[in-house]
């Protein structure tokens, strides 16, 4: 079976320690999490985990089933690349002197859809949002200028489905089996 990249979206109650319970499922299977982002959601008291992993469809479906069994998990959904909209954010710290040396780094920043976030005496912070390849391409272009620091966030993703989280939660509460499928939405 061929491996490919999947995005797992997990809706949970906002409880301390839940991240450990979720990530241990991957650790037990010796699966490497490529990206993990946890944030609040549009529903009060609910968080959304966005997890990116490269594996087979069979393995990710099994992992998703295990995650759904966790007490504080309200839903877990597997998405392929064409089923979501997603972005990452990257920050780059470069020395201020590269702007003063007549090098045209400003146009490099603009031409790559990035922006200057902060200008300090000794460094400048540049911000870029996009897919991993986009932020990595800018990294390669800035490296020759003496890149001081670089950081990229985990993926932030939202499904293309018409499902509304609030409707899903309401139906889940009314469901006798307490189990719904994303296919229902």
For residues 103 and 97, give the distance between their C-alpha atoms in angstroms, rounded to a whole number: 9
Tell me, yes or no, whether 73 lies in a domain.
yes
Does residue 97 share a domain with residue 32? no
Domain end marker among 79, 109, 144: 79
* Predicted confidence (pLDDT) per residue in 13-40, tens digit: 998 889 999 999 999 999 999 999 999 9
Positive or negative: CA dihedral 161, 165, 167, 171: positive
Domain boundary among 63, 79, 95: 79
16 and 49, same domain (yes or no): yes
- How far is Cα 85 from Cα 88, in angstroms, rounded to an integer? 11
Question: For residues 47 and 136, what is the distance between their CA atoms, to the nearest angstrom?
Answer: 28
User: Looking at residue 94, which CATH number applies to its domain?
Assistant: 3.30.70.1150
Specify whether the CB–CB gap between 84 and 157 falls below 8 A. Answer: yes
- By C-alpha distance, which of 88, 91, 90, 85 is closest to 131? 88
The domain in which residue 65 lies consists of 4-79
Q: Strand pairing of 123-130 and 46-55?
A: unpaired
pLDDT at residue 173 in the model: 64
Share of the chain above pLDDT 90, in %: 69
Number of structural domains found in the chain: 2
pLDDT at residue 184, as a whole number: 43
CATH number of the domain bearing residue 9: 3.30.70.260
Positions of the chain with pLDDT under 50: 178, 180-185
């Amino acid at each position: 079976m061929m491996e490919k990249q999947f995005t797992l979206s997990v809706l949970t109650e906002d409880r301390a320690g839940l991240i450990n319970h979720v990530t241990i499922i991957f650790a037990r299977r010796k699966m490497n999490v490529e990206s993990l982002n946890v944030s609040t959601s549009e529903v009060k008291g609910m968080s959304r985990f966005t997890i990116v992993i490269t594996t087979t469809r069979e393995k990710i479906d099994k992992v998703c089933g295990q995650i759904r069994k966790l007490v504080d998990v309200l839903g877990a959904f597997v998405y392929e690349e064409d089923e979501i909209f997603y972005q990452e954010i990257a920050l780059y710290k470069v020395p201020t002197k590269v702007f003063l040396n007549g090098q045209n780094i400003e146009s490099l920043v603009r031409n790559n859809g990035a922006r200057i976030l902060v200008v300090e005496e000794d460094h400048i912070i540049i911000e870029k949002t996009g897919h991993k390849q986009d932020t990595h391409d800018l990294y390669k272009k800035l490296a020759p200028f003496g890149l001081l620091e670089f950081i990229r966030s985990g993926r932030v993703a939202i499904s293309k489905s018409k499902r509304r989280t609030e409707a899903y939660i309401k139906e889940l509460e009314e469901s006798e089996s307490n189990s719904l499928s994303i296919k229902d939405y």
